[in-house]
Structure 1
Amino acid sequence: MNRLIAFISMLLIVLPLNAQVLPIGVGDHIHVVVHNEPDLTVKEKVGTHGTINMPLVGVVTVVGKTPDEISKAIMAALDDGYLVEPQVRVAIDRYRPFYIRGKVESAGAYEYVIGLTVSQAIAIAGGLTPRASNSGWYLTRGPNKTRHDVTAESKVLPGDVIEIPESFF
Protein backbone atom coordinates (compact mmCIF):
# COMPACT_ATOMS: atom_id res chain seq x y z
CA MET A 1 0.00 0.00 0.00
CA ASN A 2 2.83 2.42 0.82
CA ARG A 3 4.38 1.75 -2.60
CA LEU A 4 1.08 2.63 -4.29
CA ILE A 5 0.80 5.89 -2.34
CA ALA A 6 4.40 6.77 -3.17
CA PHE A 7 3.81 6.03 -6.86
CA ILE A 8 0.66 8.18 -6.99
CA SER A 9 2.54 10.99 -5.23
CA MET A 10 5.28 10.73 -7.86
CA LEU A 11 2.68 11.08 -10.61
CA LEU A 12 1.26 14.22 -9.07
CA ILE A 13 4.71 15.79 -8.92
CA VAL A 14 5.80 14.84 -12.43
CA LEU A 15 2.60 15.24 -14.43
CA PRO A 16 0.92 18.64 -14.70
CA LEU A 17 -2.82 18.90 -14.30
CA ASN A 18 -3.40 19.19 -18.04
CA ALA A 19 -3.20 16.02 -20.07
CA GLN A 20 -0.04 15.67 -22.08
CA VAL A 21 -1.18 14.08 -25.30
CA LEU A 22 0.83 16.07 -27.84
CA PRO A 23 3.67 14.17 -29.48
CA ILE A 24 7.15 15.13 -28.43
CA GLY A 25 9.28 17.13 -30.85
CA VAL A 26 12.81 18.42 -31.18
CA GLY A 27 13.37 21.14 -28.59
CA ASP A 28 10.91 19.83 -26.00
CA HIS A 29 12.22 19.36 -22.46
CA ILE A 30 11.19 16.01 -21.00
CA HIS A 31 11.42 14.38 -17.59
CA VAL A 32 11.65 10.61 -17.14
CA VAL A 33 11.15 9.13 -13.65
CA VAL A 34 11.58 5.46 -12.78
CA HIS A 35 9.81 4.66 -9.50
CA ASN A 36 12.25 3.86 -6.66
CA GLU A 37 15.24 4.33 -8.99
CA PRO A 38 16.46 7.94 -8.58
CA ASP A 39 19.67 7.17 -10.51
CA LEU A 40 17.54 6.51 -13.60
CA THR A 41 15.82 9.91 -13.55
CA VAL A 42 16.46 11.88 -16.74
CA LYS A 43 15.73 15.53 -17.51
CA GLU A 44 16.75 16.33 -21.04
CA LYS A 45 16.07 18.58 -24.00
CA VAL A 46 15.26 16.57 -27.11
CA GLY A 47 18.06 17.17 -29.59
CA THR A 48 18.04 17.27 -33.37
CA HIS A 49 18.34 13.48 -33.61
CA GLY A 50 15.01 13.12 -31.77
CA THR A 51 16.44 10.93 -29.06
CA ILE A 52 17.37 10.94 -25.38
CA ASN A 53 19.95 8.88 -23.52
CA MET A 54 18.46 6.69 -20.80
CA PRO A 55 20.67 4.92 -18.23
CA LEU A 56 20.75 1.12 -18.73
CA VAL A 57 18.60 1.46 -21.87
CA GLY A 58 20.76 3.71 -24.04
CA VAL A 59 19.39 5.83 -26.87
CA VAL A 60 15.59 6.12 -26.96
CA THR A 61 13.80 7.68 -29.94
CA VAL A 62 11.15 10.07 -28.61
CA VAL A 63 10.17 12.42 -31.47
CA GLY A 64 6.64 11.85 -32.71
CA LYS A 65 5.69 9.74 -29.70
CA THR A 66 3.48 10.67 -26.75
CA PRO A 67 4.81 10.53 -23.18
CA ASP A 68 2.74 7.38 -22.60
CA GLU A 69 4.25 5.62 -25.63
CA ILE A 70 7.78 6.50 -24.48
CA SER A 71 7.00 5.36 -20.94
CA LYS A 72 5.86 1.94 -22.22
CA ALA A 73 8.95 1.56 -24.40
CA ILE A 74 11.31 2.38 -21.51
CA MET A 75 9.41 0.05 -19.17
CA ALA A 76 9.74 -2.79 -21.69
CA ALA A 77 13.48 -2.15 -22.08
CA LEU A 78 14.06 -2.01 -18.30
CA ASP A 79 11.92 -5.12 -17.76
CA ASP A 80 14.21 -7.02 -20.14
CA GLY A 81 16.75 -8.08 -17.51
CA TYR A 82 17.30 -4.86 -15.55
CA LEU A 83 14.33 -4.29 -13.21
CA VAL A 84 11.33 -6.28 -12.01
CA GLU A 85 8.06 -4.61 -13.05
CA PRO A 86 9.51 -1.12 -13.56
CA GLN A 87 7.16 1.85 -13.30
CA VAL A 88 8.13 4.73 -15.59
CA ARG A 89 6.51 8.12 -16.09
CA VAL A 90 7.43 10.56 -18.83
CA ALA A 91 6.33 14.19 -18.73
CA ILE A 92 6.95 17.21 -20.89
CA ASP A 93 8.43 19.92 -18.69
CA ARG A 94 8.45 22.52 -21.44
CA TYR A 95 7.35 22.41 -25.06
CA ARG A 96 9.36 23.84 -27.93
CA PRO A 97 8.38 27.44 -28.73
CA PHE A 98 5.95 28.67 -31.34
CA TYR A 99 6.95 31.47 -33.69
CA ILE A 100 5.04 34.47 -34.98
CA ARG A 101 6.21 36.75 -37.74
CA GLY A 102 4.87 39.41 -40.03
CA LYS A 103 2.79 42.38 -38.99
CA VAL A 104 2.79 42.00 -35.20
CA GLU A 105 4.48 44.38 -32.78
CA SER A 106 7.13 41.89 -31.57
CA ALA A 107 7.73 39.02 -33.96
CA GLY A 108 9.78 36.15 -32.57
CA ALA A 109 9.78 32.89 -30.62
CA TYR A 110 7.53 32.48 -27.60
CA GLU A 111 6.96 29.80 -25.00
CA TYR A 112 4.13 27.45 -25.93
CA VAL A 113 1.23 26.79 -23.56
CA ILE A 114 -1.41 24.10 -24.03
CA GLY A 115 -4.61 25.39 -25.60
CA LEU A 116 -2.98 28.40 -27.27
CA THR A 117 -5.01 30.07 -30.04
CA VAL A 118 -3.85 32.38 -32.83
CA SER A 119 -5.49 35.39 -31.14
CA GLN A 120 -3.66 34.61 -27.90
CA ALA A 121 -0.39 34.24 -29.81
CA ILE A 122 -0.95 37.65 -31.43
CA ALA A 123 -1.59 39.16 -27.99
CA ILE A 124 1.62 37.60 -26.65
CA ALA A 125 3.47 39.20 -29.58
CA GLY A 126 2.13 42.65 -28.62
CA GLY A 127 -0.84 42.74 -30.97
CA LEU A 128 -1.25 43.56 -34.63
CA THR A 129 0.49 46.53 -36.22
CA PRO A 130 -1.69 49.18 -37.94
CA ARG A 131 -0.73 47.71 -41.33
CA ALA A 132 -1.66 44.10 -40.42
CA SER A 133 -4.30 42.23 -42.34
CA ASN A 134 -7.34 41.08 -40.38
CA SER A 135 -7.57 37.94 -42.53
CA GLY A 136 -5.41 35.76 -44.71
CA TRP A 137 -3.40 34.55 -41.73
CA TYR A 138 -1.71 31.18 -41.96
CA LEU A 139 0.70 28.96 -40.13
CA THR A 140 3.18 26.32 -41.14
CA ARG A 141 3.36 23.09 -39.19
CA GLY A 142 5.42 19.94 -39.00
CA PRO A 143 8.58 18.71 -40.65
CA ASN A 144 7.00 19.10 -44.10
CA LYS A 145 6.07 22.71 -43.28
CA THR A 146 2.46 22.20 -44.28
CA ARG A 147 0.62 25.50 -44.69
CA HIS A 148 -2.75 25.95 -42.95
CA ASP A 149 -5.11 28.91 -43.23
CA VAL A 150 -6.15 30.03 -39.74
CA THR A 151 -8.55 32.31 -37.90
CA ALA A 152 -8.24 33.96 -34.52
CA GLU A 153 -9.65 30.87 -32.80
CA SER A 154 -7.46 28.29 -34.55
CA LYS A 155 -5.30 26.19 -32.24
CA VAL A 156 -1.54 26.62 -32.24
CA LEU A 157 0.82 23.69 -31.59
CA PRO A 158 4.44 23.68 -30.43
CA GLY A 159 6.81 24.57 -33.25
CA ASP A 160 4.12 26.25 -35.38
CA VAL A 161 5.10 29.36 -37.32
CA ILE A 162 2.27 31.89 -37.56
CA GLU A 163 2.38 34.43 -40.38
CA ILE A 164 0.42 37.70 -40.22
CA PRO A 165 0.56 39.40 -43.64
CA GLU A 166 0.28 43.09 -44.42
CA SER A 167 -3.08 44.54 -45.40
CA PHE A 168 -3.39 45.93 -48.91
CA PHE A 169 -6.06 48.46 -47.91
Structure 2
Amino acid sequence: MKKYLSKFNLWSLTFIFLWIACINVALADDSRESVLGPGDLLKIFVYGHPDMTTESKVSENGNITFPLLGEILVDGLTPSAAEKKIANLLESRDILRNPQVNIFTASLQSQMISVLGYVRNQGRYPIDGKRSLTEILAMAGGIIPEGGDLITLIRSDGKQFFKEVIDVSEMVRSGDLSRDIHVRSDDLVYVERANRFYIYGEVQRAGTYRLERNMTVIQALSVAGGLNPRGTERGLRVQRRDSHGNLKVLSVKSSDLVEPDDVIYIKESLF
Protein backbone atom coordinates (compact mmCIF):
# COMPACT_ATOMS: atom_id res chain seq x y z
CA MET A 1 0.00 0.00 0.00
CA LYS A 2 2.87 2.38 0.82
CA LYS A 3 4.38 1.75 -2.62
CA TYR A 4 1.10 2.64 -4.31
CA LEU A 5 0.74 5.75 -2.17
CA SER A 6 4.23 6.83 -3.21
CA LYS A 7 3.34 6.24 -6.86
CA PHE A 8 0.13 8.24 -6.37
CA ASN A 9 2.17 11.05 -4.80
CA LEU A 10 4.56 10.98 -7.77
CA TRP A 11 1.69 11.29 -10.23
CA SER A 12 0.23 14.09 -8.12
CA LEU A 13 3.62 15.84 -8.14
CA THR A 14 3.86 15.41 -11.91
CA PHE A 15 0.36 16.87 -12.35
CA ILE A 16 1.23 19.85 -10.12
CA PHE A 17 4.48 20.36 -12.02
CA LEU A 18 2.67 20.48 -15.38
CA TRP A 19 -0.06 22.68 -13.86
CA ILE A 20 2.58 25.19 -12.76
CA ALA A 21 4.10 25.04 -16.23
CA CYS A 22 0.65 25.76 -17.66
CA ILE A 23 0.36 28.85 -15.46
CA ASN A 24 3.79 29.97 -16.61
CA VAL A 25 2.62 29.66 -20.20
CA ALA A 26 -0.39 31.86 -19.48
CA LEU A 27 1.70 34.44 -17.61
CA ALA A 28 4.73 34.31 -19.90
CA ASP A 29 6.65 37.55 -20.16
CA ASP A 30 6.06 39.32 -23.48
CA SER A 31 9.76 40.14 -23.61
CA ARG A 32 10.50 36.59 -24.70
CA GLU A 33 10.28 37.28 -28.43
CA SER A 34 10.45 34.83 -31.26
CA VAL A 35 12.30 35.68 -34.45
CA LEU A 36 10.26 36.32 -37.57
CA GLY A 37 10.26 34.01 -40.55
CA PRO A 38 8.42 33.04 -43.76
CA GLY A 39 4.67 32.66 -43.32
CA ASP A 40 4.38 35.01 -40.33
CA LEU A 41 1.53 37.53 -40.61
CA LEU A 42 2.39 40.97 -39.22
CA LYS A 43 0.28 44.01 -38.41
CA ILE A 44 2.36 47.19 -38.52
CA PHE A 45 1.32 50.53 -37.02
CA VAL A 46 3.04 53.92 -37.18
CA TYR A 47 1.92 56.23 -34.37
CA GLY A 48 0.12 59.32 -35.69
CA HIS A 49 0.05 57.99 -39.27
CA PRO A 50 -2.93 55.65 -39.66
CA ASP A 51 -2.50 55.78 -43.45
CA MET A 52 0.68 53.72 -42.99
CA THR A 53 -1.04 50.96 -41.04
CA THR A 54 -0.52 47.79 -42.99
CA GLU A 55 -0.75 44.03 -42.76
CA SER A 56 1.98 42.05 -44.45
CA LYS A 57 2.96 38.40 -44.67
CA VAL A 58 6.63 37.46 -44.55
CA SER A 59 7.50 36.01 -47.96
CA GLU A 60 9.54 32.88 -48.64
CA ASN A 61 12.52 35.18 -49.10
CA GLY A 62 11.95 36.68 -45.65
CA ASN A 63 10.66 40.05 -46.88
CA ILE A 64 7.61 42.15 -46.08
CA THR A 65 6.15 44.98 -48.14
CA PHE A 66 5.70 48.36 -46.44
CA PRO A 67 4.23 51.60 -47.89
CA LEU A 68 6.85 54.00 -49.34
CA LEU A 69 9.67 51.60 -48.42
CA GLY A 70 8.91 48.60 -50.60
CA GLU A 71 10.38 45.26 -49.60
CA ILE A 72 12.16 44.97 -46.24
CA LEU A 73 14.07 41.93 -45.07
CA VAL A 74 12.85 40.88 -41.61
CA ASP A 75 13.70 37.16 -41.60
CA GLY A 76 15.58 36.29 -38.41
CA LEU A 77 14.70 39.56 -36.65
CA THR A 78 12.61 39.84 -33.50
CA PRO A 79 9.52 42.06 -33.79
CA SER A 80 11.25 44.80 -31.77
CA ALA A 81 14.30 44.66 -34.05
CA ALA A 82 12.02 44.84 -37.10
CA GLU A 83 10.27 47.85 -35.56
CA LYS A 84 13.61 49.62 -35.16
CA LYS A 85 14.67 48.73 -38.71
CA ILE A 86 11.48 50.15 -40.24
CA ALA A 87 11.72 53.30 -38.08
CA ASN A 88 15.34 53.85 -39.14
CA LEU A 89 14.43 53.44 -42.82
CA LEU A 90 11.54 55.92 -42.53
CA GLU A 91 13.84 58.46 -40.90
CA SER A 92 16.92 57.90 -43.08
CA ARG A 93 14.83 58.39 -46.23
CA ASP A 94 13.34 61.64 -44.87
CA ILE A 95 9.83 60.23 -44.83
CA LEU A 96 9.14 60.76 -41.10
CA ARG A 97 10.95 62.24 -38.12
CA ASN A 98 11.28 60.12 -34.99
CA PRO A 99 8.70 57.57 -36.13
CA GLN A 100 7.22 55.19 -33.58
CA VAL A 101 6.62 51.79 -35.18
CA ASN A 102 4.77 48.92 -33.54
CA ILE A 103 4.54 45.39 -34.90
CA PHE A 104 2.03 42.80 -33.74
CA THR A 105 2.38 39.20 -34.82
CA ALA A 106 -1.09 38.19 -35.97
CA SER A 107 0.14 34.69 -36.82
CA LEU A 108 3.50 32.99 -36.25
CA GLN A 109 3.67 30.22 -38.81
CA SER A 110 7.46 30.07 -38.98
CA GLN A 111 7.96 29.13 -35.31
CA MET A 112 5.85 26.02 -34.80
CA ILE A 113 6.36 22.63 -33.21
CA SER A 114 4.26 19.46 -33.43
CA VAL A 115 2.94 17.64 -30.36
CA LEU A 116 1.62 14.14 -30.98
CA GLY A 117 0.78 11.01 -29.05
CA TYR A 118 -0.99 10.67 -25.73
CA VAL A 119 -1.71 14.32 -24.94
CA ARG A 120 -5.10 15.95 -24.55
CA ASN A 121 -4.80 18.16 -27.65
CA GLN A 122 -2.52 16.99 -30.43
CA GLY A 123 -1.48 19.60 -32.98
CA ARG A 124 0.98 22.29 -33.99
CA TYR A 125 1.78 25.05 -31.52
CA PRO A 126 3.57 28.38 -31.94
CA ILE A 127 6.72 29.05 -29.97
CA ASP A 128 6.48 32.49 -28.41
CA GLY A 129 10.03 32.99 -27.22
CA LYS A 130 11.83 30.26 -25.34
CA ARG A 131 9.62 27.35 -24.35
CA SER A 132 10.56 24.32 -22.30
CA LEU A 133 9.31 20.79 -22.90
CA THR A 134 6.94 20.92 -19.92
CA GLU A 135 5.50 24.25 -21.08
CA ILE A 136 4.73 22.74 -24.49
CA LEU A 137 3.09 19.72 -22.82
CA ALA A 138 0.98 22.12 -20.77
CA MET A 139 -0.02 24.01 -23.94
CA ALA A 140 -1.19 20.66 -25.38
CA GLY A 141 -3.39 20.08 -22.35
CA GLY A 142 -1.03 17.72 -20.53
CA ILE A 143 -0.54 13.97 -20.72
CA ILE A 144 -3.74 11.91 -20.69
CA PRO A 145 -4.09 8.90 -18.33
CA GLU A 146 -3.15 6.48 -21.12
CA GLY A 147 0.11 8.36 -21.68
CA GLY A 148 3.42 7.15 -20.35
CA ASP A 149 6.44 8.68 -18.67
CA LEU A 150 8.63 8.77 -21.78
CA ILE A 151 8.67 11.73 -24.15
CA THR A 152 10.43 11.42 -27.50
CA LEU A 153 11.85 14.61 -29.01
CA ILE A 154 12.87 14.56 -32.69
CA ARG A 155 14.68 17.50 -34.23
CA SER A 156 16.81 18.28 -37.26
CA ASP A 157 19.99 20.27 -37.75
CA GLY A 158 19.12 20.74 -41.42
CA LYS A 159 21.06 17.67 -42.53
CA GLN A 160 19.92 14.82 -40.31
CA PHE A 161 17.42 14.02 -37.59
CA PHE A 162 18.23 13.40 -33.93
CA LYS A 163 16.12 11.68 -31.30
CA GLU A 164 16.17 12.20 -27.55
CA VAL A 165 14.04 10.39 -24.98
CA ILE A 166 13.14 12.20 -21.74
CA ASP A 167 11.63 10.46 -18.73
CA VAL A 168 9.29 13.09 -17.28
CA SER A 169 8.46 11.19 -14.09
CA GLU A 170 12.14 10.58 -13.34
CA MET A 171 12.84 14.26 -13.97
CA VAL A 172 10.15 15.24 -11.44
CA ARG A 173 11.22 12.55 -8.96
CA SER A 174 14.87 13.63 -9.02
CA GLY A 175 14.18 17.36 -9.37
CA ASP A 176 16.70 17.47 -12.24
CA LEU A 177 15.20 20.16 -14.47
CA SER A 178 18.24 20.10 -16.75
CA ARG A 179 16.24 17.54 -18.75
CA ASP A 180 13.42 20.06 -19.19
CA ILE A 181 15.04 21.15 -22.43
CA HIS A 182 14.02 24.09 -24.59
CA VAL A 183 12.16 23.16 -27.75
CA ARG A 184 12.94 24.69 -31.14
CA SER A 185 10.97 25.45 -34.26
CA ASP A 186 10.02 22.32 -36.26
CA ASP A 187 10.68 19.99 -33.30
CA LEU A 188 8.41 16.97 -32.95
CA VAL A 189 7.33 16.02 -29.43
CA TYR A 190 5.75 12.59 -29.07
CA VAL A 191 4.27 11.26 -25.82
CA GLU A 192 4.56 7.48 -25.68
CA ARG A 193 1.73 5.21 -24.57
CA ALA A 194 2.06 3.92 -21.02
CA ASN A 195 3.26 0.33 -20.70
CA ARG A 196 0.43 -2.12 -20.05
CA PHE A 197 -0.14 -5.65 -18.84
CA TYR A 198 -3.07 -8.03 -19.21
CA ILE A 199 -4.59 -10.28 -16.58
CA TYR A 200 -7.33 -12.86 -16.97
CA GLY A 201 -8.64 -16.01 -15.38
CA GLU A 202 -9.94 -16.30 -11.82
CA VAL A 203 -9.64 -12.65 -10.75
CA GLN A 204 -12.24 -10.09 -9.74
CA ARG A 205 -11.63 -7.72 -12.66
CA ALA A 206 -9.87 -9.25 -15.65
CA GLY A 207 -8.62 -6.73 -18.20
CA THR A 208 -5.83 -4.41 -19.30
CA TYR A 209 -4.02 -2.19 -16.78
CA ARG A 210 -1.27 0.37 -16.64
CA LEU A 211 2.09 -1.12 -15.73
CA GLU A 212 3.75 0.84 -12.93
CA ARG A 213 7.48 0.83 -12.37
CA ASN A 214 8.85 -2.26 -10.65
CA MET A 215 5.38 -3.78 -10.36
CA THR A 216 5.37 -7.37 -9.10
CA VAL A 217 2.93 -10.12 -10.02
CA ILE A 218 1.18 -9.88 -6.65
CA GLN A 219 0.79 -6.11 -7.10
CA ALA A 220 -0.66 -6.67 -10.56
CA LEU A 221 -3.07 -9.15 -9.01
CA SER A 222 -4.18 -6.58 -6.44
CA VAL A 223 -4.84 -4.01 -9.20
CA ALA A 224 -7.25 -6.53 -10.74
CA GLY A 225 -9.12 -6.77 -7.44
CA GLY A 226 -7.42 -9.95 -6.23
CA LEU A 227 -8.53 -13.54 -6.62
CA ASN A 228 -12.16 -14.47 -6.95
CA PRO A 229 -13.45 -17.38 -4.78
CA ARG A 230 -12.27 -19.92 -7.35
CA GLY A 231 -8.77 -18.52 -7.92
CA THR A 232 -5.40 -19.64 -6.62
CA GLU A 233 -1.90 -18.18 -6.63
CA ARG A 234 -0.42 -21.62 -7.22
CA GLY A 235 0.86 -22.28 -10.73
CA LEU A 236 1.01 -18.66 -11.85
CA ARG A 237 1.66 -18.37 -15.60
CA VAL A 238 2.76 -15.45 -17.74
CA GLN A 239 2.74 -15.22 -21.52
CA ARG A 240 5.69 -13.09 -22.62
CA ARG A 241 7.40 -12.36 -25.93
CA ASP A 242 11.18 -12.65 -26.10
CA SER A 243 13.53 -10.29 -27.93
CA HIS A 244 12.75 -12.08 -31.22
CA GLY A 245 9.00 -11.72 -30.80
CA ASN A 246 8.42 -15.36 -29.94
CA LEU A 247 5.64 -16.01 -27.43
CA LYS A 248 6.61 -18.06 -24.38
CA VAL A 249 4.66 -19.31 -21.38
CA LEU A 250 6.63 -18.91 -18.14
CA SER A 251 6.08 -20.02 -14.57
CA VAL A 252 6.46 -17.06 -12.23
CA LYS A 253 6.36 -16.28 -8.54
CA SER A 254 4.22 -13.62 -6.94
CA SER A 255 7.36 -11.56 -6.21
CA ASP A 256 8.59 -11.57 -9.83
CA LEU A 257 8.45 -8.34 -11.82
CA VAL A 258 5.87 -7.84 -14.53
CA GLU A 259 7.19 -6.75 -17.93
CA PRO A 260 5.45 -4.62 -20.58
CA ASP A 261 2.66 -6.46 -22.44
CA ASP A 262 2.81 -9.49 -20.13
CA VAL A 263 -0.35 -11.61 -20.04
CA ILE A 264 -0.92 -13.02 -16.54
CA TYR A 265 -3.18 -16.06 -16.16
CA ILE A 266 -4.71 -16.99 -12.80
CA LYS A 267 -5.74 -20.64 -12.59
CA GLU A 268 -8.78 -22.11 -10.92
CA SER A 269 -8.19 -23.88 -7.62
CA LEU A 270 -8.80 -27.61 -7.66
CA PHE A 271 -9.82 -27.64 -4.00
Same fold (TM over 0.5): yes
Match of 2:153, as an amino acid? Y
The residue type paired with residue 154 of structure 1 is I
Alignment of 1:86-165 (within 5 A): 86-96=99-109, 97-104=112-119, 106-113=121-128, 116-128=131-143, 132-135=147-150, 137-140=152-155, 147=162, 149=164, 151=166, 153-157=180-184, 159-165=186-192
Q: Which has the higher strand share?
A: 2
Conservation of the 8 A alpha-carbon contact between 1:102 and 1:163: yes
1:22 alignment counterpart: 34
Deviations 1:103-153 (A, max 9, x none): 445432235555643234334435446775523521426766874747553
Could you tell me how far apart the structure 1 residues matched to 2:33 and 2:139 are? 24
Computed over aligned residues only, the root mean square deviation of the Cα atoms, in angstroms, reads 3.5
Match in the other structure for 2:97: 84
Please give the TM-score of this superposition, normalised by the length of structure 1.
Answer: 0.66
How far, CA to CA, are the matches of 1:142 and 1:36 in structure 2?
Answer: 44
Q: Matched residues in 2 for 1:78 and 1:72: separation?
A: 10
Distance 2:108 2:62 in 1: 14
Would the aligned equivalents of 1:141 and 1:161 in 2 still touch at CA under 8 Å?
no
CA distance in 2, matches of 1:147, 1:135: 16
Q: Which moved more, 1:34-43 or 1:114-123?
A: 114-123
Q: Which amino acid aligns with 2:114?
A: Y
Spell out, residue by residue over 1:58-91, the C-alpha distance to the aligned partner (whole angstroms, 9 max, x if none). 1111121012221222122212132223222223
Distance in 1 (alpha carbons) for counterparts of 2:123 and 2:187: 12
Question: How far apart, CA to CA, are the structure 2 residues paired with 1:109 and 1:116?
Answer: 14
Q: Distance in 1 between matches of 2:160 and 2:42?
A: 24
Can you list the C-alpha shifts for 1:34-56, whole angstroms capped at 9, x where unaligned?
12111111233434332211000
Question: In structure 2, do the counterparts of structure 1 residues 37 and 140 end up closer, same or farther at CA, with 3 Å as the change threshold?
Answer: same
- Shifted more, 75-84 versus 101-110: the winner is 101-110
Q: Which protein has greater RCO, CA pairs closer than 8 Å, 6+ apart?
A: 1
Separation in structure 1 between the aligned mates of residue 100 and residue 74 of structure 2, nearest angstrom: 18
Q: Which moved more, 1:109-118 or 1:84-93?
A: 109-118
Change in CA separation of 1:69 and 1:143 when aligned onto 2, cut-off 3 Å: farther
> Which residue of structure 2 aligns with residue 35 of structure 1?
47
Report if the CA contact (8 A) 2:118-2:193 is conserved.
yes
8 A contact 2:33–2:129 mirrored in 1? no
For 1:140, give the aligned amino acid: R
Greater Rg over alpha carbons, structure: 2
Between the two proteins, what is the percent identity of the paired residues? 24
TM-score by length of 2: 0.45
Residue 62 (structure 1) aligns with: 74
| Count of residue pairs brought into register by the alignment | 154
The residue identity in structure 2 corresponding to 1:155 is H
